Amino acid sequence: MPTITSVDVIDVRFPTSATLDGSDAMNPDGDYSAAYVVLGTDGDLEGYGLTFTIGRGNDLCVAAARQIGARLTGRDVDELAADLGGLYREIMADSQMRWLGPEKGVVHLSAAAVLNAAWDLAARRAGKPLWRFVADMTPEELVAACDFRYLSDALTPEEAVEMLARLAPTREERVAELARDGYPAYTTTPGWLGYSDDKLRRLCREAIADGWTHIKLKVGANIDDDIRRLGIAREEIGERTLMIDANQVWDVPEAIEWVNRLAPYAPLWIEEPTSPDDILGHAAIRKAIAPTGVATGEHAHNRVMFKQLLQAGAIDYCQIDSCRLASVNEIVPVMLMAAKFGVPVCPHAGGVGLCELVQHMSVVDYVCVSGTLEGRVLEYVDHLHEHFTDPVRIERGRYRLPGLPGYSAQMHPESIAAYRYPDGHEWAG
C-alpha to C-alpha distance for 134 and 153, rounded to whole angstroms: 26
C-alpha to C-alpha distance for 277 and 270, rounded to whole angstroms: 16
Task: Tell me which of 1, 18, 74, 95 binds a second copy, using CB under 8 A.
Answer: 95
Task: Tell me which of 47, 129, 276, 297 binds a second copy, using CB under 8 A.
Answer: 276
Check binding of 151 to a second copy (CB under 8 A). Answer: yes
Task: Tell me which of 12, 81, 97, 377 binds a second copy, using CB under 8 A.
Answer: 97
C-alpha to C-alpha distance for 98 and 429, rounded to whole angstroms: 39
Task: Return the range that interacts with a second copy (CB under 8 A); candidates 76-84, 113-121, 306-314, 406-414.
Answer: 306-314
C-alpha to C-alpha distance for 331 and 336, rounded to whole angstroms: 9
The beta strands (E) that lie in 323-429 are given as 378-380, 394-395, 398-399
Q: Closest by alpha carbon to 365, among 166, 174, 129? A: 174
- Do residues 66 and 7 lie in contact, with contact meaning Cβ atoms separated by under 8 Å? yes
Check binding of 100 to a second copy (CB under 8 A). Answer: yes
Residue 166 burial class via C-beta count within 10 angstroms: exposed 0-12, middle 13-18, buried 19 and up: exposed
C-alpha to C-alpha distance for 223 and 265, rounded to whole angstroms: 13
Task: Tell me which of 42, 43, 73, 149 binds a second copy, using CB under 8 A.
Answer: 149
Active-site residue, from 128, 218, 301, 383: 218
Check binding of 64 to a second copy (CB under 8 A). Answer: yes
CB of 429 to a second copy, least distance (A): 21
Active-site residue, 348 included = yes
Check binding of 334 to a second copy (CB under 8 A). Answer: no
Check binding of 273 to a second copy (CB under 8 A). Answer: no
Task: Tell me which of 3, 5, 67, 389 binds a second copy, using CB under 8 A.
Answer: 67
C-alpha to C-alpha distance for 25 and 256, rounded to whole angstroms: 17
C-alpha to C-alpha distance for 50 and 110, rounded to whole angstroms: 8
> How many residues in the chain?
429
Type of residue numbered 305: M
Check binding of 252 to a second copy (CB under 8 A). Answer: yes
Check binding of 188 to a second copy (CB under 8 A). Answer: no
CB of 339 to a second copy, least distance (A): 19
Check binding of 257 to a second copy (CB under 8 A). Answer: no
CB of 348 to a second copy, least distance (A): 13
Type of residue numbered 74: G
C-alpha to C-alpha distance for 226 and 348, rounded to whole angstroms: 22
Site string for a second copy, 104-133 (x = CB under 8 A): xxxxxx------------------------
C-alpha to C-alpha distance for 199 and 204, rounded to whole angstroms: 8
Give the 3-state secondary structure of residue 217: strand
Select 94 or 177, whichever has its Cβ closest to a second copy. Answer: 94
Check binding of 204 to a second copy (CB under 8 A). Answer: no
Site string for a second copy, 8-47 (x = CB under 8 A): ------------------xxxxxx----------------
CB of 27 to a second copy, least distance (A): 5
- Do residues 35 and 11 lie in contact, with contact meaning Cβ atoms separated by under 8 Å? yes
C-alpha to C-alpha distance for 25 and 255, rounded to whole angstroms: 13
Q: Which residues are catalytic?
A: 218, 348
Query: Rule CB under 8 A: which residues touch a second copy?
Result: 26-31, 53-57, 59-61, 63-64, 67, 94-109, 149-153, 248, 251-254, 274-281, 284, 299, 301-302, 304-305, 307-308, 311-312
